[in-house]
Structure 1
Amino acid sequence: MNADGRRTEDALELLSAPAEWDLPPGRHLHYKDVLMQQIDQDLGHAPAAAPVSAPAPAPRRRLTRPAFLVPLASTVLAGALALTLTGTGGSPAPAPADRAATGSAHAQSASLTLHRIAVAAMASDVTPVRDDQFVYVRNLTVSNKGTFEGPVKLGAPHTVETWTSQDPRPRKTLGWIRESGKDAVMPDETIPIESTDAVPAGIDHPTYTWLSSLPTDPDALLALLRRDVRVSDGESREQAVFSLIGDLLSQTLMPPRNTAALYKAAARIPGVKEIPDAVDVAGRHGIAITREDASSATRDEWIFDKRSLAFLGARGFITHDKQKGITTDTLMGSTAVLQRAVVDRHGEESAGADS
């Protein structure tokens, strides 16, 4: 970045009033489809407290990138992609020049908003996490309950709790998960989330200590993520990085300076835009930061509170599918973060969130 760019960024930070960061970011990992696939391959019903194993990599299309907790796992939505389509409206399509100008304006707006969010993150107060502790996240989620070959059928919203181990040593058991409510798989069972191979601290197992060691310069951080990110078949590297950043911001705890650096890095990814209004599965409206990926025909949204700039939740869409006749956005999953905290044992719930 040149000197003028640096000065512009510094000015944006100074002019942006730090907003209250009163709800920690979060983004749900879709284990339900992984579990359902595993159950279908077994006896046709849910065994008692079966571990969530990491299946082989699947092709494109996921709501979230389960980079940690379930390394290499997929949300297994590749064959189940047709729900209620969002209408495009009856307005005539804008001219190419108008579309280019509109896209540029949305990108500039997204960059400004992400810098404001980064400033808000710097004003937060995060308690350091010890290596012997767990990061606890409680989400409200709605996910696909349809068959792999058939259309997407979103189930009822239900609660998903995860406990991520902070142990930096290579581990096969990276965390624990528990679902409750209607359409939960193995309701109220606390299940280990396991990998075939032992996974050390890193992108596939991002502990607080490892996250603290990442570069805080956005350009250096983005270069590192581009180098190390796991790219799925049919997915662009830029989308893989965008998804990875969303997961790191949502399912972990890290020092404020690292959180801010991730938001600034996201602002540098081509194709990132802002949507003025979006709603998470809990019904909360906010500003959305989004990126559409032509390679994988997907679009991800991160939703933030308009006042506090807190991360509220996320949505994932299929943008088109010629085989199924999809020509516009089709929702394939949505989540809302309810709580995030530090606990001493898996299965333990926290009385309050650690923001």
Structure 2
Amino acid sequence: MNAAHPSGSDREEAQKVSRLLPEAPEWDLPRGRHRHHKDILMQQIDRDHESVAATTPPRGEASTATTPLRRRLLRPAVAVPVAALALTGALAATLTFSDDHGATPVAQAPAPDGGATVLLNQIADASLRTDTAPVKDGQYVYVRSTVRSNEGTFAGPVELGAPHRRDVWMAQTSKPVKTLGTMRETGKGVPMSGQRLPYGSTDALAPGLERPTYAWLASLPTEPDKLLDELYTGTRTTGRESKDQAVFEKIGSLLDETVMPPENAAALYKAVARIPGIKRIPDAADAAGRHGVGISRQDARSAVRSEWIFDSESLTYLGSRSYLDKDGKGMKLAGTNAILRRTVVDKSGAMPADTTADS
């Protein structure tokens, strides 16, 4: 038998074996990918032929090892479909599970909070990159904002008032005080518009949840779970309000008119992510008309919804919105604000060095 030309029985056996193998499916690949995989396949076939040639006796010499020869003769006939099948399997895995960049996408169910937890963690990270100077005992935190509030009666429908300016100076002394600071509201329809007036408490208040000074905020735990436990313990509910909503509202008040160290701000945002019922709002606007992303929570028990708004790029806190369903006909905007300036001054009524009372 000539080793270079297999006998008829060898060819028949090779054909029988090849028929047992499934046909490789065709894939609708781009022309370049077809050429690439064809080259790989032909290289494999060439290597198989070289292996056969290296072990095949010279032309005209009979083989004395018929069994190895049979394997060598069968190998090219079997190697092509096997290589094709291996290639098909690789292609199937690639086409089925890989995206255009070769990464393996993982099917994930939508987050029940609409991405609120992810957003809050991003806001926490952004807050750590801010530079906040410590506030000294005896100084004042100054905040300027635009405000719209509900001017309707208690029993009547919600009537949102016109936007007006609010300037507030909050005392940072560590001593218990009755006068917590001073406030000036300016605008159409505002009682005593433009006059700076003291605000306070009938009882002297030490720094705490009801009077959050910089030093007190800096003393809070920076571990989110411990911080949240402390907030739940110290927050009181009103009316039909749930405890979760009360804590959410309390944290919102801490964001509005205070100054705190970056690590404490980050801890607050991470703590909020653990409150049940929070949602991400893709687009929301503050009282100044600035749009951003929002974090909200709606309380079915008290029929209220509160939203915090953050700049979409810097994730800086912009302001808030509150909604109320008084008549069971749906939530209506009942109040909104926009924080326009936040800094520290040395005395009540003082304006930041780069601003005036009219700016």
Q: TM-score range by the shorter chain?
A: 0.5 to 0.7
CA drift of 1:224 comes to 0.3
Pair 1:165-2:174 in alignment: no
The 1-side partners of 2:153 and 2:114 are apart by 40
Instruction: Give 1:229's aligned amino acid.
Output: T
Q: Which runs of 5+ in 1 are unaligned?
A: 1-100
Q: 1:120 aligns with which of 126, 136, 140?
A: 126
* 1:62-101 mapped onto 2 (5 Å cutoff): none
The 2-side partners of 1:331 and 1:138 are apart by 22
Pair 1:305-2:307 in alignment: no
- Higher RCO (C-alpha 8 Å, min separation 6): 1
Q: 1:344 aligns with which of 346, 349, 359?
A: 346
CA drift of 1:260 comes to 0.2
The 2-side partners of 1:216 and 1:352 are apart by 33
Instruction: Give 1:183's aligned amino acid.
Output: G
Q: Is 1:216–1:258's contact at 8 Å kept on the other side of the alignment?
A: yes
Pair 1:237-2:239 in alignment: no
Greater C-alpha radius of gyration? 2
Provide Cα deviations, 1:11-48, integer angstroms capped at 9, x if missing partner: xxxxxxxxxxxxxxxxxxxxxxxxxxxxxxxxxxxxxx
Pair 1:176-2:191 in alignment: no
User: What residue number does 2:213 align with?
Assistant: 207
Q: 2:330 aligns with which of 319, 328, 331?
A: 328
Q: Which has the higher helix share?
A: 2
Query: What is the total number of aligned residue pairs between the two structures?
Result: 248
The 2-side partners of 1:329 and 1:352 are apart by 40
Q: 2:149 aligns with which of 143, 147, 153?
A: 143
Q: Is 1:273–1:290's contact at 8 Å kept on the other side of the alignment?
A: yes
Instruction: Give 1:347's aligned amino acid.
Output: G
User: What residue number does 2:296 align with?
Assistant: 290
CA drift of 1:183 comes to 2.2
The 2-side partners of 1:138 and 1:108 are apart by 32
The 2-side partners of 1:334 and 1:346 are apart by 25
User: What residue number does 1:276 align with?
Assistant: 282
Q: Is 1:339–1:352's contact at 8 Å kept on the other side of the alignment?
A: no
Q: Is 1:106–1:274's contact at 8 Å kept on the other side of the alignment?
A: no
* TM-score between both structures, scaled by the size of structure 1: 0.68
CA drift of 1:162 comes to 0.8
Pair 1:109-2:111 in alignment: no
Per the alignment, in what secondary structure is the counterpart of residue 283 of structure 1?
coil
Provide Cα deviations, 1:201-256, integer angstroms capped at 9, x if missing partner: 11111111111110000000000000011211211111111111111122111110
Instruction: Give 2:344's aligned amino acid.
Output: V
CA drift of 1:150 comes to 2.1
Provide Cα deviations, 1:261-307, integer angstroms capped at 9, x if missing partner: 00000001000010101111111111010000111110000001101
Q: Is 1:341–1:352's contact at 8 Å kept on the other side of the alignment?
A: no
* TM-score between both structures, scaled by the size of structure 2: 0.67
The 2-side partners of 1:350 and 1:106 are apart by 43
Q: Is 1:136–1:161's contact at 8 Å kept on the other side of the alignment?
A: yes
Pair 1:263-2:265 in alignment: no
Q: 1:154 aligns with which of 151, 157, 160?
A: 160
Q: 2:135 aligns with which of 126, 129, 134?
A: 129
